[in-house]
Structure 1
């Protein structure tokens, strides 16, 4: 079977050498890994049935046409046993590294100038047997984080119910009933906010940029060596903070999400980090604004059973792929919050509620697709790269399974992900799993040499917020 299919705009951009982005997903397992068992699981998996994971990217140099060409998958060319991993930084050679640190070092090395060969379908599985870890590397042209996570989880089963697929959270977009006047006001605000945020996006494309700070990156930083650290959170702590903020404030339109807490934690953690590294000539206490890029899933969240049925049918392309937009997040790490750390979450919620009310994410997605069609991938990449260079960090949050799962009968202890380096010196990807969340903090080590300390700043920020939320409930 050699069916040809043209590339969509996003896949076209991510398949270019300039915009080549790899998603690296790490799955830690409880028990030792049997390589033949892993190959057997993949051979019988929905992943192998997916048309994108069977297709080779073909570049026709005569007319510049690019397309997917279906073929057979040879697992021996995709699954590799990795041993004797270089532990990297000599400064830590005197210490015994944990498995997590070794895996993070391995992933950090893969994020810089480590593309996948186009002579085969654009994915690989690296088996780190000594660390009980599977690393799935997928070119972003095949799909975004939500797509890849959904496909990975179709190969897993619940630990307590081995015949059932994991359950993933679905977004609740319900809002309270509103009268006609409120509906009109909401529509006016939606249009106004969309115009404001669209203008802000265009200004970022042209000349507006963040002030220089300790975490600033820029053009060329994507090629700098990287370090990777992990911040760990309890979802119950995040939920208690979220509920405390909602009880303390009355919002006209309420979306109950963990993202409000996550952005509040990031703001507070960056405040701690920047204060620790503050120099006498730094920007005044109240004067620093940092902007980030947050990726937003634009598809309806489906259950994994639906995903499995879609892959088996020909309608998978209607849901699969890169269906995301992004929003610009202005935060103020040094903004005075008094003695109430929950103010960080309140400020984040105020910003995110307005962002969710607007069409910013949908417009950035539409603009990118239009630019790809009209200007081509190289120009579109340059424009997108300019927005990245004019902001300070990237952040994503993908919801994983709500209960413990297993892969091939081997319980999964953690799920983590990161991506290829960007001009940002700071990139954060969070995945939730079985009541906890792990955020991978990828940094340019010559700009942020201590990502473990930054991770602790985030963890301490959440703990401080939880204490404040507990105190607010008691009073």
Structure 2
């Protein structure tokens, strides 16, 4: 029997809201970027309540989940409410029965690559759910949400996903998240003496960073390396998605040793692992020009609220959308940090570069530039500029905050979760997400170019080098 979800009265369906500029960039003839979130379950999946869950919990979160993107009379795109046939958005694949976990790993990875490259149909709301009822090395079953980036950024989409979940220990209690709010003002008699030099430094950094960002987006292209093929249409090529898990306690020890942030440690680990991979693949290319786009959340809030606040609170609803920026960060060279005793300097240099770039307004000037291009040349031209920005760099790094407690979906415990941004014109994408006391790193890489096993070995080697150097007595 068909289940059709009525999302409103007929007159409500005729109403529409404008698509944000960023939403139009991400769903254009030049770009069509999506986010895949993977939930890993401890036990075999019971999907008997999936239709009701999507109908009663997922769809009401935001009207965009019940809308399609259409061209408006004003020439701009709009979200138009439609009637949703839920089962058209759910897929339950069939794999051969009785295989080994390694074989199911291969089937699962191939399936992820397939749905990553398949475009979402524009004739229905831009999301889909895949329920994989076969075990892998990481889970007894998995659920994959694929959501178009035009619907919102990682913060918005992850908030929507978490709204469908509960605490495994007590569903009546809300999920909680690490508090990354900035501390209050610090009393410092020397603070006024530092304000002017910091303001001057920030102004200089803004000019340099913004100028370099424009050049990188327009003319300066990274070299072809073991992590960048530089091919046209790389976003349509098959990918491998590999994940790694690291202990947050160990990362915090490195953090305390260097007196930096967790993000600094993780970014340094990713950069060092990438350089080690480049060296292991082609020694001559180990220090080739390689630039990463590090994504930043530009919201005025420091972290997640509770799930209820994120969905129902007016402030949280205002925060919905694509509110982020990016920084061009060159990967530090490897030659100066070959010895294990000096590996922490690699992290410190990474932290220094990112800190300097944060002390500038280049991210906001880039946003103003994109708006100017949109105003005078249109959304398609702006999407082309963003495509060039991505294609000319070597990799993207983004991170999300996950809950502190174990989660469950309809009383089914979730062992792990991660996400991946797909259909990006790059050969390498790295995403990071915390969950309980672990950090999950997912790596999307162009199939046939980057070796997943070797890249994992190099990244884990980088982490071990950093940890050993951090805990050694000085």
TM-score by length of 2: 0.88
**Mapping for residues 310-321 of structure 1, pairs under 5 Å:** 311-312=311-312, 317-321=317-321
Residue 76 (structure 2) pairs with residue 75 (structure 1): no
Shift of 1:170: 3.0
Would you say the 8 A contact 2:163–2:311 is kept in 1?
no
**Mapping for residues 4-43 of structure 1, pairs under 5 Å:** 4-43=16-55
In structure 2, distance between residues paired with 1:369 and 1:104: 38
Shift of 1:198: 0.2
Once the two structures are overlaid, the 10-residue window that deviates more, 321-330 or 267-276, is 267-276
Secondary structure of 1:384's counterpart equals helix
Structure 1, unmatched stretches of 5+, are 87-92, 247-255
Would you say the 8 A contact 1:9–1:373 is kept in 2?
no
Once the two structures are overlaid, the 10-residue window that deviates more, 96-105 or 331-340, is 96-105
Would you say the 8 A contact 2:304–2:401 is kept in 1?
no
Shift of 1:17: 3.1
Choose from 122, 136, 160 the match for 1:151. 160
How many residues were matched structurally? 449
1:341-396 deviations in Å (ceiling 9; x for gaps): 21121111111111222223333333323322332122112211222222111111
Shift of 1:181: 1.5
In structure 2, distance between residues paired with 1:363 and 1:308: 34
* Cα distance change of structure 1 residues 164 and 47 upon mapping to structure 2, 3 Å threshold: farther
Shift of 1:189: 1.3
* Cα distance change of structure 1 residues 176 and 213 upon mapping to structure 2, 3 Å threshold: farther
* Cα distance change of structure 1 residues 117 and 330 upon mapping to structure 2, 3 Å threshold: same
Choose from 350, 370, 373 the match for 1:371. 373
Shift of 1:271: 2.4
Once the two structures are overlaid, the 10-residue window that deviates more, 95-104 or 140-149, is 95-104
Secondary structure of 1:18's counterpart equals coil
In structure 2, distance between residues paired with 1:125 and 1:151: 13
In structure 2, distance between residues paired with 1:65 and 1:330: 36
Residue 251 (structure 2) pairs with residue 238 (structure 1): yes
In structure 2, distance between residues paired with 1:440 and 1:176: 37
Aligned residue number for residue 357 of structure 1:
359
Choose from 106, 130, 135 the match for 2:134. 130
Aligned residue number for residue 109 of structure 1:
114
* Cα distance change of structure 1 residues 98 and 181 upon mapping to structure 2, 3 Å threshold: farther
**Mapping for residues 424-463 of structure 1, pairs under 5 Å:** 424-448=426-450, 450-463=451-464
Once the two structures are overlaid, the 10-residue window that deviates more, 27-36 or 95-104, is 95-104
Residue 276 (structure 2) pairs with residue 268 (structure 1): no
Aligned residue number for residue 196 of structure 2:
184
Choose from 384, 387, 390 the match for 1:385. 387
Once the two structures are overlaid, the 10-residue window that deviates more, 365-374 or 256-265, is 365-374
Secondary structure of 1:340's counterpart equals helix
1:68-125 deviations in Å (ceiling 9; x for gaps): 1123433222222222279xxxxxx9x752655543332222222x111122211111
Would you say the 8 A contact 1:10–1:369 is kept in 2?
no
Would you say the 8 A contact 1:222–1:422 is kept in 2?
yes
1:185-239 deviations in Å (ceiling 9; x for gaps): 1111111111110000111123222233221232322222211211221111111
Aligned residue number for residue 471 of structure 1:
472
In structure 1, distance between residues paired with 2:456 and 2:366: 30
* Cα distance change of structure 1 residues 454 and 227 upon mapping to structure 2, 3 Å threshold: same
Structure 2, unmatched stretches of 5+, are 1-11, 136-140
* Cα distance change of structure 1 residues 241 and 357 upon mapping to structure 2, 3 Å threshold: same
* Cα distance change of structure 1 residues 462 and 24 upon mapping to structure 2, 3 Å threshold: same
* Cα distance change of structure 1 residues 324 and 441 upon mapping to structure 2, 3 Å threshold: same
Secondary structure of 2:44's counterpart equals coil
Shift of 1:262: 1.4
**Mapping for residues 327-346 of structure 1, pairs under 5 Å:** 327-337=327-337, 338=339, 339-346=341-348
TM-score by length of 1: 0.88
Shift of 1:434: 0.9
Would you say the 8 A contact 1:111–1:421 is kept in 2?
yes
Secondary structure of 2:84's counterpart equals coil
Secondary structure of 1:447's counterpart equals coil
Residue 70 (structure 2) pairs with residue 58 (structure 1): yes
Choose from 161, 167, 170 the match for 2:176. 167
Would you say the 8 A contact 2:180–2:303 is kept in 1?
no
In structure 2, distance between residues paired with 1:169 and 1:316: 17
Aligned residue number for residue 293 of structure 2:
293
Would you say the 8 A contact 1:211–1:289 is kept in 2?
yes
Once the two structures are overlaid, the 10-residue window that deviates more, 235-244 or 265-274, is 265-274
